[in-house]
Structure formats: C-alpha cells, structure tokens
Amino acid sequence: MALTVSRTETGREFKVKDISQADFGRLEIELAEVEMPGLMVCRAEFGPAQPLKNARITGSLHMTIQTAVLIETLTALGADVRWCSCNIFSTQDHAAAAIARDSAAVFAWKGETLEEYWWCTEKALDWGPGGGPDLIVDDGGDATLLIHEGVKAEEEYDRSGMLPNPNEAENAEFRIVLSIIKEGLLVDPKRYRRMRDRLVGVSEETTTGVKRLYQMQANGTLLFPAINVNDSVTKSKFDNLYGCWHSLPDGLMRATDVMIAGKTAVVCGYGDVGKGCAAALKAAGARVIVTEIDPICALQALMEGIPVLTLEDVVEADIFVTTTGNKDIIMVSHMKQMKNNAIVCNIGHFDNEIDMLGLETYPGIKRTTIKPQTDRWVFPETNRGIIVLAEGRLMNLGCATGHPSFVMSCSFTNQVIAQLELWKERGTGKYGKKVYVLPKHLDEKVAALHLGKLGAKLTKLTPDQAAYISVPVEGPYKPPHYRY
C-alpha cells in the first residue's frame, strides 16, 4: 500500500482502506451507541461544557466500531483527535472510514505490515509543527513507547552524535521503530522532546501496557503522568473477563467453524483473560485444561473443575489459547508434536506468546492460507498441520471483531474519565511522572452508568446501615484492597 495521506473535504488527514465504507461504518456506529450507555451519558453530561476543548488527543487503540464511539465521545467533549490502531489486524475498515470522513484523522487498516503499522503510529502522533498531542489514549503502550524511545535517541544524539542503529535491535519490530526514529532524527532532532514537553499525560488501557508503565516508573524513566485504566475494576474485571468470554469463541468460529463441544482446549494462563476464555470454552462444551505459574490462580482453576497441567502434558489437545502476557508460551517444539489440525491462537496483547519466528523458520515447513488470518502450517516430518490464527496476534480482533460494545463501554468510559481528569488537572501538579489509578467512586460511577440498560435496580443503604458498615450512603462501598 502506498503510504500517502489523503484529506477530507475539510482538510483532515487520513489513510484508510476504503473511505466508501463510511456509510456502512456509520450504521454500525449508530447500533453500537445504543449498547454503550456509559459513553453516551458522558456526551450528555459533559458535552455542553466542552471540557476537552483545545485538547489534542492521539489514540493508539484498535480502530473498531466501539473505538469509533469512543473517538466521537472525545470529539463531542471538544477534543481534536488523531488515531491509529494498536494491532496490524484489529482495524475494522468501515469504522475507520466513518471516523476518517466524519470525525478525526485516522491512519489504520486491517492487515497492515509492521512498517505500515509504525508509519500509522507516527502519523497519529504528528500534529505538525506545534509539537505532538496533549493527551494520549494508549492500548499496549506503543505510542508511549515511540515517544520514550524517540526522546532517548535524541538525547543520545545530543550527547554523543550517535544515531540509533536498527541493526542492533533485538527483534524485527524494534528494528522498524529504530529506523523511524533515526529517520526522524535526521530531519528534526528535537521532535520527540517537543512532544514530551507538551504532553499532559497518557491513559493506558491494557495489562501489557500498564506493565510497561510500572517498569518505567520503577526505573525512573517515565516521562509524563499515566493513568492506569486497566486496573479500574470496571475495566479489568469486565473487558478482560467477559469481553474474552464473548470474543474467544467468536474468533474461533469465524476463523475455523470448528465445533468446540467435545474438544479438549488448553488455556495458557488463568488471569482475567484466561478466566474468560476458560469459562467460554467450558460453556461451549469443551474439556478445558489450564497451564499456570501462579499457585493461587491455579487453585482457582481447580475449584472450577479445571485441571492444571503443563503444556507438555497436554500437547495432544485440540485447541490452544495463550492469555499470559508473557513470551515464549507455545514454542515450535510444542507445535510439531500437536495433532493434525490442532488450533493454536493467542488472545494476549502481543504475538510473542506463540513462537511465530520458530514456526516460520522451521526447515521445510509449509504454510497454506485458508483465508486471511487463518493459516495451516504443515511440518515436513509428520505431514501434520496446525492451524494458526491471526499469525499469532490477538485472535479476537484479527479473526472476529473484538469485544462487544457493551463491555467496551465500561472500559472506554474509564478512558474518557481519565482523559478528562488529566486535562482538567493539567496545570495543577496533581499528577507527577507516575502511574495512577482512578479513584473508586469513579469506578463505581462507571458501573452505575451501565445498570439501567440491563434493567437493574440498586438497593439504597439507609444512613443507619451505612454507619454500621462505615461507608458513605453514596459510596464508595469497598476498601481499596477489595478484590470483587
């Protein structure tokens, strides 16, 4: 795809697969709005005051229909927005088209190469001469990473005159990151530092991105405030769990049409994502086995009737799903032992849970693409094939449409609240270069916004009852350590 930027009639930049899909995208966005009460209430409650007026927001987050409703909530609150996806397969092209035409600068399409992916990220951060964005909405931390790496390289260049050397990168993707930075440096050696200086903060969506932020906080290298949206209860205990409960079987069905009932399925990792995946597979009639490193999560699986074994014990299973957030979970040495047409997929943020490099470079391996994001890899010794989904990337976004609107409304309402908070406090010094979580009363508010749609009615504490359990009548109702 030629990497050229188009412009709408109003002059807004974009690059999407097919702008003519905008009408289709708009129809699905309208359906999604009905399923996203948290975001719609934000528009109604905050819209008139335009609290994000003059805020430039860059988002790096799967460019789906649900994200479109998030983007248009941000713009309804006054923000200017530029957006890219955070995964090469996760864009829904009709969503991208609708947003590009109607609301924000979008650089995203389904099936980007890695070079294209980072080009899009760089475009989303590129607000022109005046520097970068004021705020970042991040998912997995790639936008944040690019700025941090850019600043590091610029400072090194100032110090030593050394340019980054892509050939020293530890993997192919990081080589691309360094190349982009290197090229940028040669044009404008202060670019990422101007971005840093302007940036008010980032709100980060997912476990993996949050882990990176805490690592940077621990190292003292974090360059701006960060709000950890992932650890809002209404995010991690809903999106991660119930979202995957929905989208894992959805992805399996769309990619392979395989009958889940009767099959043996291995879920690697029993965190929130793993719990959702295991529950979904059980509910669909599979026998589920979990692999875990953490004895507490392992004991939880056991209490739910799920055996906990090692991958080596169960390499004969039918379906394998990685959910760990760690790397090197299913190696090519496992895959070559699997039965014919075993399905291997990943629903964790990064593709390094599955040893795709080992697979691709296995001598004599033969790859047949059944359809996009569904490949069969045949080992020469055995002539047995395994079916790998979405090239090892997030299968629910690569092979299906990701999490459904209702649960994303919870996550994204947290994002909106975090963006509002960062912007509102931009001059106050309330937030330093640290990682923060939202206070519990906002978490409870996000939940409350989603009850009516499902017909729920809350009980109200009497003042006497509230005093008895030492909480305010209006909440928050639980101590910080409460686990839900």
List residues forming the annotated binding site for NAD(+): 206-208, 271-276, 292, 347-349, 396, 403
Per CB under 8 A, which of residues 21..50 are in contact with a second copy?
A: 24, 27-28, 31-32, 34-35
Tally of CA atoms within 13 A in the half-sphere of 398 that contains its CB:
28
What distance lies between CA 462 and its chain's CA centroid? 40
Does residue 183 belong to the site contacting a second copy (CB under 8 A)? no
CA distances from 484 to 319, 444, 446, 481 (A): 30, 12, 15, 9
Token pair for 168: 């020293």
What distance lies between CA 43 and its chain's CA centroid? 23
Residue 72 falls in the annotated catalytic set: no
Among residues 2, 160, 381, 469, the one that binds a second copy under rule CB under 8 A: 469
The one catalytic residue among 87, 103, 230, 419: 230
Among residues 9, 170, 459, 463, the one that binds a second copy under rule CB under 8 A: 459
Q: Which residue, chain included where needed, has tokens 């839900």?
A: 484
Among residues 60, 75, 144, 256, the one that binds a second copy under rule CB under 8 A: 256
> Coil, strand, or helix at residue 143?
helix
Query: Which residues neighbour 346 within 8 Å (Cβ) at sequence distance 6 or greater?
Result: 321, 322, 323, 353, 354, 389, 390, 392, 393, 394, 395
Among residues 102, 139, 142, 292, the one that binds a second copy under rule CB under 8 A: 292
Query: Which residues neighbour 156 within 8 Å (Cβ) at sequence distance 6 or greater?
Result: 162, 164
Does residue 468 belong to the site contacting a second copy (CB under 8 A)? yes
Token pair for 363: 């001598």
Per CB under 8 A, which of residues 76..95 are in contact with a second copy?
A: none
Does residue 211 belong to the site contacting a second copy (CB under 8 A)? yes
Token pair for 472: 């305010």
Does residue 383 belong to the site contacting a second copy (CB under 8 A)? no
The DSSP bridge partners found for residue 89 are none
Q: How many residues can be counted in the chain?
A: 484
Give the closest residue to 349 by CA, choosing from 334, 329, 319. 329
> Coil, strand, or helix at residue 377?
strand
User: What minimum distance in Å lies between the beta carbon of 230 and a second copy?
Assistant: 11
Per CB under 8 A, which of residues 396..435 are in contact with a second copy?
A: 400-401, 403-407, 410
Nearer to a second copy, 2 or 261 (CB): 261
User: What minimum distance in Å lies between the beta carbon of 191 and a second copy?
Assistant: 30
Does residue 187 belong to the site contacting a second copy (CB under 8 A)? no
Nearer to a second copy, 58 or 409 (CB): 409
Q: Which residue, chain included where needed, has tokens 């989904």?
A: 389
Per CB under 8 A, which of residues 306..325 are in contact with a second copy?
A: 306-311, 313, 325
Give the closest residue to 205 by CA, choosing from 351, 441, 415, 410. 415
Provide the mask over 100-139, with x wherever binding to a second copy is found by CB under 8 A and - wherever it is not: ----------------------------------------
What distance lies between CA 178 and its chain's CA centroid? 22
The one catalytic residue among 15, 110, 148, 349: 349
Give the closest residue to 350 by CA, choosing from 327, 321, 334, 333. 327
User: What minimum distance in Å lies between the beta carbon of 141 and a second copy?
Assistant: 14
Among residues 171, 370, 382, 424, the one that binds a second copy under rule CB under 8 A: 370
Among residues 328, 360, 361, 430, the one that binds a second copy under rule CB under 8 A: 328
Per CB under 8 A, which of residues 49..68 are in contact with a second copy?
A: 65
Phi-psi category of residue 338: left, alpha or beta, with phi > 0 → left and psi -120 to 50 → alpha: beta
Give the closest residue to 79 by CA, choosing from 101, 57, 98. 57
Residue 139 falls in the annotated catalytic set: yes
The one catalytic residue among 300, 411, 414, 419: 411
User: What minimum distance in Å lies between the beta carbon of 76 and a second copy?
Assistant: 20
Nearer to a second copy, 120 or 244 (CB): 244
Residue 85 falls in the annotated catalytic set: yes
Among residues 189, 214, 337, 357, the one that binds a second copy under rule CB under 8 A: 214
Residue 349 falls in the annotated catalytic set: yes
Contact indicator for 268, 297 with CB cutoff of 8 Å: no
Token pair for 130: 């005046």
Does residue 188 belong to the site contacting a second copy (CB under 8 A)? no
Contact indicator for 450, 38 with CB cutoff of 8 Å: yes
Residue 411 falls in the annotated catalytic set: yes
Nearer to a second copy, 1 or 27 (CB): 27
Q: Which residue, chain included where needed, has tokens 């957030």?
A: 325
Residue 62 falls in the annotated catalytic set: yes
Using the rule CB under 8 A, give the single segment among 39-47, 116-124, 125-133, 236-244 that binds a second copy. Answer: 236-244
Catalytic residues: 62, 85, 90, 139, 205, 230, 235, 239-240, 244, 349, 403, 411, 415
